[in-house]
Structure 1
Amino acid sequence: MASTLLEQTRSAHEECERLERLIVRDFRTDAKGHTERLAQGHRVRKMLDQIKAQAEKLTRIYADEDDVRKEEIAALRGENMYSAFYERLKDVRDYHRRYPYLEVSEVEADEAALREPVPVVFSGEEGGGRYLDLHAHFHRFVNAKFGRQLDYAAFVGGVPCTEGVPRALRLGQPYREYLAGLLEYLESFYQRTQPLSSLSKVYAKLEGFEAEWAAGSVPDWGDRGEGAAGGAAAVIDLEAFEAVEELETLGADRLKEALGALGLKTGGTLRQRAERLWLTRGTPLEALDKKHFVKGAAPASLRTPEQTARQAAAAKDAALLEVKVGALRDALGSVVEDTVGNVEKKQARTYEELQAEQAEADEAGPLSDSEDEDEYIYNPLKLPLGWDGKPIPYWLYKLHGLNQEFKCEICGNASYWGRRAFERHFKEWRHQNGMRALGIPNNKNFFEVTQIKDALELWNSIQEREVGGFKAEVEEEFEDDSGNVYNRKTYELLKRQGLL
């Protein structure tokens, strides 16, 4: 009976212990597949939240700010403790008489809690939490003034793709709104796919942001947003040009980049951009009219204290958003790589193949646990897996020679299966590092050389030939009847052909 404060305390402790046992039981079950693991994580997260709520309730009870708990304990220790006991017993019997069907055992409720599916909403593009869905943010980026044209796979791989954005655009409200929306989505995706993790751990590295900002050590924000965006010499050396017409030869994009770095307006025709940039030749930015600057990007000497304070606040907000998005991007690194791979795989398919795949998915319905990605695949020959996650046919395995093993001593006796992989590895980082460690250039002369001894001997031979000495075939000269001079090799070749 939960009418007294002591009974509420006992009930809360019991509920905490019950939830802890349920969490242990849930973790003992082997969750197969991505879907089951995700559901298990959310079930455990829900039970942890319930334990937290009960613990907060117990904290308030033990604090006993109104002295109700102290009074109840004093009543039990008083002279009439037997009468108080029988009064409590009478209340318990009356309570159970009024509610005769009250369940004492909660075994069935526990089993239901372990089977309870936690609804987590994912879009179709997210694939149940396997991939990111950044299409809305991608379109917002490519259509913004601070954005640029690129494909979706490149955007996902380099998210948030803010490198090289001019300072004047970084201080604008659209840039901060773009970062805030992207950050909100990444936080939501992280919480939905990793319910047992905490964002506070991801943002733990941001604890020193205030100190770094005050010291001016935040990348790209050394002046804390208080100074000018940059100088003309840092972008284009205007002293090297004699007239506006020469500046036009740089092109509209190059002039736009230079104007943006200076905080000047970047619009207009090619001629207008060149004339606007030409104004800065030999003239300090502080001497230019405010109308030439982007709003909020004028030099510090032309801004009021209020404008300077607002610009510094905007710069700090933008820098903090950039750091947060970068931290979440690193935390979701594997998901980003999987998303890029999924996008590239879809781009490689034709429209008919996508339609056929969608029709097949509609007919098959949702994937069951046995059909999930972690299903055991019988592969006794250890054949490589194809794009669909299944072993490739054996005839294709033999056709590409994937049963042939090639070893390279320069790569640390690494094995390469198949002729194609073996030839490709000569341009990869492992082989290049091995050649660099031997002090040998990795050029075509050493193609298919895999032994360290052979590589060193060939390199010594090449060096000996290049040291010097007379080479008759190349350096000995011959003259024909017409006075034409040839080296020995060319002369003999032409003579054999009867051309001399």
Structure 2
Amino acid sequence: MNNNSSNILSSVPEAFGRYLDLHELYNEFINSKFGAPMEYSAYVGSFSQMEKISQSHKATRQYREYLEHILEYLTSFLYRTEPLQDIEKIFAKLESEFEERWANEEVPGWGNKSTEESEIDLDYYSTVEELVELGPEKLKHALAARGLKSGGTVQQRAERLFLLKHTPLEQLDRKHFAKVPRTKDVSDASSNGNHFKDDLKKEIALMEVKMRRLCELLDEVFVRTKENAEKKLTLTYEEMEAEREEEEVQADTESDDDEQQIYNPLKLPMGWDGKPIPYWLYKLHGLGQEFKCEICGNHSYWGRRAYERHFKEWRHQHGMRCLGIPNTKNFNEITSIEEARGLWEKIQARQGLNKWRPDLEEEYEDQEGNIYNKKTYTDLQRQGLI
């Protein structure tokens, strides 16, 4: 890949939260002692696989700063793209769970007794030459984990480790063992720097756990970022330039669309998105029909649904109270003040005919068994006829 294309690739933006911009972290990784040269897409794919890094490299200040930069960027990205995520609460829960996992030596890549690099099963190796193929670093870690001397050539290291295949560690000649430091300060770390102070180990392990959790929350974004990086590798410089210009034009167009005045010649009602609703929906709900209500002060209601609903709303109820008329179902569909008053008078008159009138309807009986209403009985009694 030429320099121009690599510059374009390294300037891929986050695309409004669609991709992660890990190029600074990528450059920091490949230029570090614990990193290795690789493509950007491969780096994104193995971003959270910190267990592959040896503990001796994790003890360095460079690795710790690298983790701090990762946490800073991922936390910032999550705040910007998912502001409702309670990151502090997530971290607090992780820290409480981490204490128990650390005590049980269940944190990946942080077993206190031995690391993955030092766990070499000698049963799988039948000759010294097979051990030589493992390489000097892995043999060095395996020897140091067992307390043996880790110096010398690759052949010497392999021969020294191969002795354990047939001889138990306790019966091995003392000349093969490394000297134990006398000072207390040095006793906390092994000669190869694989084991360092527990508090520092614990702090870095917690940072790795937090980083893995953030990677889980952003898993889909990591997948998109890797796919985008792989896609960029297949493009030429001209294609990258054209794609970048197209993205810029599209972003400018979207911003212009948001800023320009909304064109609404038919004066259609606005929808939930702040834009006029479709005309077919406008016709379907009959929003072009106007209904006026005199009781509501000649207020206009557009559409049958709004008109029927307004009889139970505050404006119509207030108008009915001003007229001294109860707002019952009898007055639905009545919008004229004159019609409402006329109907109310009829209802009152009907209620008057059916009203209980004791003078005419209350019955009395005399001694002879004759039945009279209250008025007649009272008149006869006053005249002394009963």
How does the TM-score come out when normalised to structure 1? 0.39
How does the TM-score come out when normalised to structure 2? 0.49
Greater CA radius of gyration, 1 or 2? 2
